[in-house]
């Protein structure tokens, strides 16, 4: 091709085409990367039963197995001043309301003094042999600090704890009531009477039973 005046002009067509293809490929790869990142991004569990935890033997366990039931989740300890009374009252409620619609779920924590120093398997065996408990025990967890147990953090994050310095239990045997859908509806500090807790848990269990009967 010649321009006016007879001087040849080099065609830029192939180079422009290559550049266009390269840009298109770059944009496409970038879009795929962003899409993959969003798809692989961990989704925040929507409820308590969506979490996985470790059992007392160190095995991974999904809390999904408790969905549809009421759960009283408790941070327990073997050598606290409240241990004997707490374990006996928790076992009484667990036995009275049964495991078909309700469970006490025990999470040992060793961050409150020297009240829980053993391994997870020892803690479970000690509680069962000493106090005759039959409710499920999980692996020893952290509640405070930079690496709290995610499932337990979900419980504490629900509440404001405006009268507390930090958004976590301040001692052993705090109790959190979780409904059949995995939402936390109430909590009690260690010194609150077990009778009022039992009444509220029993009311939730009655609702579960009535709902199941209505669905038949």
pLDDT tops 70 at residue 40 = no
| Burial annotation 153-189 (CB, 10 A radius, 16+ → b, else e) | bbbbebeeeeeeeeebbebbbbbbbbbbebebebbbe
2: helix, strand or coil: strand
> What are the extents of the domains in the chain?
1-41, 48-215
Check if the beta carbon of residue 156 is closer than 8 Å to that of residue 146: no
Stretch 165-185: mean pLDDT: 89
The pLDDT, as a whole number, for residue 25 is 61
Residue in 121, 130, 143 with CA at minimum distance from that of residue 79: 130
Of the candidate CATH numbers 3.40.30.10, 2.40.50.1070, 3.40.50.1780, 3.40.50.10610, the domain formed by 48-215 belongs to 3.40.30.10
The pLDDT, as a whole number, for residue 18 is 63
The pLDDT, as a whole number, for residue 146 is 85
Check if the beta carbon of residue 139 is closer than 8 Å to that of residue 120: yes
How confident is residue 7, by pLDDT bands cut at 50, 70 and 90?
Answer: very low
Whether the pTM exceeds 0.85: the reply is no
Computed over every residue of the chain, the mean pLDDT equals 85
- Which tens digit of pLDDT belongs to each residue from 124-167? 999 999 999 999 999 999 998 889 999 999 999 988 655 555 56
The pLDDT, as a whole number, for residue 216 is 85
Q: Is 55 exposed, middle or buried (0-12, 13-18, 19+ CB in 10 A)?
A: middle
Kindly state the tokens that stand for 126.
């000690």
In angstroms, the first-to-last Cα distance of the chain is 86
pLDDT tops 60 at residue 27 = no
How confident is residue 19, by pLDDT bands cut at 50, 70 and 90?
Answer: low
Give percent above pLDDT 90 in the chain.
Answer: 69
């Amino acid at each position: 091709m010649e321009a006016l005046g007879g001087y040849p002009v080099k065609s830029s067509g192939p180079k422009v085409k290559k550049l266009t293809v390269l840009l298109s490929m770059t944009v496409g790869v970038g879009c795929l990367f962003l899409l993959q990142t969003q798809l692989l991004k961990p989704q925040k569990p929507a409820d308590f039963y969506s979490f996985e935890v470790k059992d007392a033997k160190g095995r991974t366990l999904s809390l999904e197995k408790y969905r549809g039931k009421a759960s009283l989740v408790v941070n327990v300890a073997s050598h606290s001043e409240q241990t004997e009374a707490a374990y006996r009252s928790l076992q009484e409620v667990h036995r009275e309301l049964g495991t078909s619609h309700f469970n006490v779920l025990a999470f040992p924590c060793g961050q409150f003094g020297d009240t829980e120093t053993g391994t997870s398997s020892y803690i479970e065996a000690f509680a069962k042999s000493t106090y005759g408990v039959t409710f499920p025990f999980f692996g020893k967890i952290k509640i405070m600090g930079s690496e709290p147990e995610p499932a337990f953090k979900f419980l504490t994050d629900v509440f404001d704890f405006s009268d507390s310095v930090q958004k976590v239990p301040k001692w052993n045997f705090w109790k959190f009531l979780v409904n059949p859908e995995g939402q936390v509806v109430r909590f009690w500090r260690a010194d609150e009477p077990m009778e009022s807790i039992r009444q509220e848990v029993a009311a939730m269990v009655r609702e579960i039973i009535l709902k199941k009967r209505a669905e038949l």
